[in-house]
A and B are shown apart, each in its own frame.
Chain A
Amino acid sequence: MIAATTAPVAALLAAEGPALDFPILTMLVIVPIVGAVLVALTRRTRPELTKLIALISSITTGALSVWLLYAFEAGDGGFQFTSKHVWIEQWGISWHLGVDGISLFLIVLTGVLFPLSIIGIDPHHDERPYLAWLLMLEAGVMGSFISLDLFLFFIFFEIVLVPMYFLIGGWGYENRVYAATKFFLYTMFGSAFMLVGLIATAWIARDDLGRLSFDLVEIAEGADFAATTGRWLFFAFAVAFAVKVPIFPLHTWLPDAHTQAPTAGSVVLAGVMLKLGTYGFLRFGLYLFPEAAVWSRSLWLTLAVIGIIYGAIVATMQKDLKRLVAYSSVAHLGFIILGTFAFTSQAISGSVLQMVNHGVSTGALFLLVGMVYERRKTRQISELKGIQQVAPIFAAGFMVVMLSSIGVPGLNGFIGEYLILIGSFQTARWWAVVATVGVILAALYLLWAYQRVFHGEPDDENRTFRELQPTEGLVLLPFLAAIVFVGVYPKPLLDRIEPSVDVLVTHVAERSDFEVPEIGTQFSVPPDTHGDDDGDDHGDADDHGDEGGE
């Protein structure tokens, strides 16, 4: 696996790329890899140097991603900062990178989340390999989000597993080996399907393209798969993504992995890694196989809605704080899948935004739960009590993050959920209605947990619970700022997300029989043609029996 990473680097260095002034996307991958290598090479006796290198490389990556955000042209739905270098010519594999509105904020989130995790979380032992793995992880995640080549994506997608496996197995908690193995095997199982799928895809697309190519854009725009073939290929990809998301009923690796992972592992897992699945559905599922995605949408919508309700219900009864947050992720990611398969601009934009929101909110929740564990050496809800009384600032921070997760308007989580639901309501009415019930349940499980942990009179060891420390506060602050900012003023994000989503929506509509109903005319008489309101209120054949039918 390690050898596989260095290969593209070598290829890149070999290929002189005069097309680009500064290969920023490539740097996003290279910088953490270089950091990881340097960290691994430092002497055991120089721990401070190790940390410094890790910080410098992760902060540089973060700064690059923020610069990318600044330089990104809003309103352009296509790929920007693209760079393409031939890697393995005879197989049509290239080092093809690019960023659009769908991946932009995930890249920025990755860039910002890693330095914060490195600053804010202490691994307690073996810091050198820990940091090296963490930086490798960053490179893998970054690479996955910027790859526009199927093979390249697959490599990065797989690379991610290795550092995560070692992070959970090496720095995790009591049951870490079981959890790490389960995580690794489960996702490898999915990946196997994807490997087959992507090779088959490139092979079949050869007929349309005239040559073998793994290039995402070439295949998506140029290949025309027969319906059945496309469906099989789509499912090969979908299994891998569904495990990664995870979609019910493939979710059970997640609570174990989350619970046993060290705090940084949980933060990264929830923050960005799960998004590889939801991102994969958008980038590779819908984009490559629009017909198959439309054809199978009822299945995904149903599983998404089950995930929303089921995840929330199971979360309610969890006794371990981390498991609770993990199940809440199942519910939240259900929303993202729902939006993805609704195929409207609002819903998919909401999904993309919600990927970022979930990363911020759930990342922050894991950070906070990690702080609880550091103090009390337990994650059991029943052993915690009355913390608000002794640590009000800590409690307030937790409260804001929790309200964001519940989806209270004015905070980020609401905007994403709202867009997903209002968009899905147009094309997947009853699924959206059932999903909205999840909004009630989210309040139930989080407030109940909050009450048991923070309210009441503190007892025993909870009486000496340490208040939020300045460093911790500093790490938490960017999360809180993002939570409030996106909730109050999401426009800058939406302005960058929407054009790319529109491109995707149009792509899906053009290459399938899916029609997005005209909004503003459903269930109402158009002002000029009174009396004829049948026929325009059904978006697709799956919708039956809505209020519009008279």
Chain B
Amino acid sequence: MTDVVWLVPLFPLVGFVTILLFGRRLGEPRAGYVATAMVLASFVVSVGLFFDLLSKSEDEREHVETLFSWVPVASLQIDMAFLVDPLSVTMLLFVTGISALIHLYAVGYMHGDPKFSKFFLYLNLFVLSMTLLVLGENLLVTFLGWEGVGTCSYFLISFWHTRESAATAGKKAFVTNRVGDFGVMIAMFLSFSAVGSISYLDLNGSALGGSLTETTATAIAALLFLGAVGKSAQLPLYFWLPDAMEGPTPVSALIHAATMVTAGVFLMVRVNPVLFVAAGWIGPLIAWVGAITALFAATIALAQTDIKKVLAYSTVSQLGYMFLAVGTGAYVAAIFHMVTHAFFKALLFLGSGSVIHGMHDEQDMRKMGKLFRFMPVTAGTFIIGWLAIAGVPPFAGFWSKDEILLFALADSPALYLIGIITAILTAFYMTRQVVMTFFGQQQWTSHANEAEAPELTDDEIAAGVEPAETHGAHGEFKPHESPPTMLLPLIVLAGLAIAGGIIQLPSLGIIPKDLQHKLEDWLHPIVPGEADITGTWAYDNKWILIAIAVACAVVGIIGAYLVYERREREPFEPQLFADGWNYDRAISWFMGNPGRQGFEGAATFDARVVDGAVNGVATAVRETAGQVRKGQTGYVRQYAGVIGIGVVLLLAWFVVIRGIL
């Protein structure tokens, strides 16, 4: 059924067009359900594709489905074509699956928003773009999706566009991503120069076949990595992602955690043969950028108070892990972590959305606490997500992070050390978040209105006295659990966050051989597996690594527990971390001051110098002409006369000096 792969993008396209034309008539909640159904249909087709490929032998799992010739000019022949192979199907499965869940969640979350149907319009357009991105047979189709998701991201970040901060954040995301797109475009041009094609099969084929020189491969790899850095929010271009949290929470979960931001990782894995041919420094460059980003973002996450900002920096950090994996050749681990991260981070974001919803649009964790009792399902699923990201076995995140660390150690102890420290920090800030939100001290009764809302004493809470449920700023209010449309996705994702690790269990003695390395076998041979590191010390001592990883998680969790729950230690939250090392501020300052002055200077230059010269000449001519032909009126005639003289002079010059006649 690989020849019906076009159904995958078709369904969201149909949803997009339907809502575009009938969105207002469909209204709430039908527009939401239409959108959800379309994405679900894509997911069903993706599952079908998966089983179809699974039933085939390994070398028959690659299928190119060409729809039409897109940009054909002479030697440049670009088709609108899809590449169905285990990698793209893996991406499709989790992209469409999680998208469907988040669509369903959004039906509840966006309840009552005046632009309800428009939200789903954008969301369907996003899924359409994302499926094009992963299915692209060549760099241009991927780029179509790449820019498409970027544009949808822009729409959705500034969805509440009357808010100045949301509008600015959307623009910032788009422009920053464009910096990366510059790299992708040049990479395409270079690929066309070098192999006469921008198709993945041709490009990778020439890398594998040895016709791609190291220099070219290096340039292409570095340029694509620039694109990946922009899209996947790595240093130095990460700063748009935290601001992107201005968008509605389902958007943060879908676009800015689970799917779009992983596109950069996907792209690097897609062209892994090129990375292999590229110069030796490309791998370490990617690994180090990833590792430093992971550590850097984790430190910032330590001191954030906005529930979504913590998760945003956490996403940047986890994406850093994925690039660490790519840079050390652990492509399978990168995809593995991408999938598990999609599960637990989507879960965490949706959980935070549920909290925000239940707290009536409060995002500050300092005004939360003790919510466990009021939102048991949200809290329970959030805790599962927490354990998964913290790296506690047997939750999904443990397995994928462990595999990345294994490759990191095999490559360089320094990278491993950074990975380990980041793991401790991750466990720490996530525990901090869970405690501040669901446990710890109750901070929220005072939130609604400090003068009117009576504080509940601990005794009253213990006695089960619940504040009356009122909404709005007046009087007290009670956080409430979210509606079933929001809880169902949470429960499904929690299940995946628990069991997701099963797709790629390590080769340990106690795990049955049949269950090991399922993802690696599935992705073979398009993505190289573990063979590269067999024989290293790290590979032979996996148990030690696992023990260290578990210890890190435990240290982080206990540390944060002591600080935030037991309050036995002062919290360590330096202002520098809270301000994100002032990086964003520096960029904003630069753009706002020297950058803007430079632009301003160019505009002034244009008005004064370039145009000034023109007007100066005109004035000079007018004055001269005025002297010569006093009494004449009408500028045009005067100048026509001057021009006439000029023509004659030129003719004379041609004839006399150049001797043309």
Contacts and interface: CB of A to CB of B under 8 A. Distances in A.
Interface in A488-516: 489-491, 494-495, 498, 502
Contact of A317 (B143, B178, B216, B602): B602
Interface stretch (B163-171, B396-404, B517-525): B163-171
B161 A421 contact: no
B215 A252 contact: no
Given A196-B654, A444-B175, A494-B73, A203 B602 contact: no
Contacts of A425: 186, 189-190, 192-193
B73 A498 contact: yes
B182 A523 contact: no
A79 interface: no
Contacts of B197: 520
B647 A195 contact: yes
A418 B70 CA distance: 12
B488 interface: no
B69 interface: yes
A489 B68 contact: yes
Contact of B647 (A192, A408, A548): A192
A532 to B, nearest CB: 11
Contact of A421 (B151, B185, B211, B647): B185
Contacts of B158: 451, 455
Q: How large is the interface on A (under 10, 10 to 19, 20 to 34, 35 or more residues)?
A: 35 or more
Contact of A519 (B75, B146, B175, B643): B75
B73 A419 contact: yes
Q: Majority SS of interface residues in chain A?
A: helix
9 shortest interchain CB distances as A-B pairs: A520-B196, A455-B167, A425-B189, A345-B74, A252-B611, A317-B603, A523-B216, A522-B193, A524-B194
Contacts of A494: 71-73
A193 interface: yes
Given A389-B162, A433-B186, A196 B647 contact: yes
B584 to A, nearest CB: 18
Contacts of B599: 313-314, 316-317
Given A185-B643, A447-B171, A548-B213, 8 more contacts: A185-B639, A346-B76, A408-B147, A425-B190, A440-B182, A494-B72, A520-B197, A548-B216
A204 B614 contact: no
Contacts of B186: 425, 433, 436
A461 interface: no
Nearest to A524: B194
A426 B660 contact: no
A349 to B, nearest CB: 5
Contacts of A392: 118
A335 interface: no
A409 B636 contact: no
Nearest to B222: A547
Contacts of B151: 403, 408
B602 A310 contact: yes
A410 B167 contact: no
Interface string A336-361: 00000000111001100000000000
A473 interface: no
Nearest to A433: B186
Nearest to B600: A317
B75 A520 contact: yes
Interface in B604-624: 606, 610-611, 614, 618
Given A433-B186, A436-B186, A525-B210, A491 B69 contact: yes
Nearest to B129: A410
Contacts of A204: 660
Q: How large is the interface on B (under 10, 10 to 19, 20 to 34, 35 or more residues)?
A: 35 or more
Given A196-B651, A533-B213, A203 B174 contact: no
B593 to A, nearest CB: 14
A185 B618 contact: yes
Interface string A263-304: 000000000000000000000000000000000000000000
Contacts of B602: 310, 313-314, 317
A542 interface: no
B574 interface: no
Nearest to A526: B211
A21 B216 CA distance: 56
B148 interface: yes
A165 B637 CA distance: 13
A422 interface: yes
Interface string A181-199: 1101110110011011001
Contact of A422 (B68, B189, B194): B189
The interface centre, meaning the residue of B182, B603, B618, B635 with most chain A CB atoms within 10 A of its CB, is B603
B212 interface: yes
A107 B255 CA distance: 43
Contact of A524 (B147, B213, B611): B213
A193 B168 CA distance: 48
A64 interface: no
Contacts of A498: 72-74
Nearest to B144: A409
Contact of A346 (B73, B167, B170, B210): B73
A456 B194 contact: no
A236 B219 CA distance: 42
11 contacts: A181-B636, A203-B661, A345-B75, A409-B143, A418-B185, A443-B175, A490-B70, A520-B75, A523-B213, A524-B195, A526-B211
Given A403-B151, A443-B175, A252 B610 contact: yes
Contacts of B69: 491
B156 interface: no
A195 B654 CA distance: 12
A455 B170 CA distance: 11
The interface centre, meaning the residue of A181, A252, A345, A489 with most chain B CB atoms within 10 A of its CB, is A252
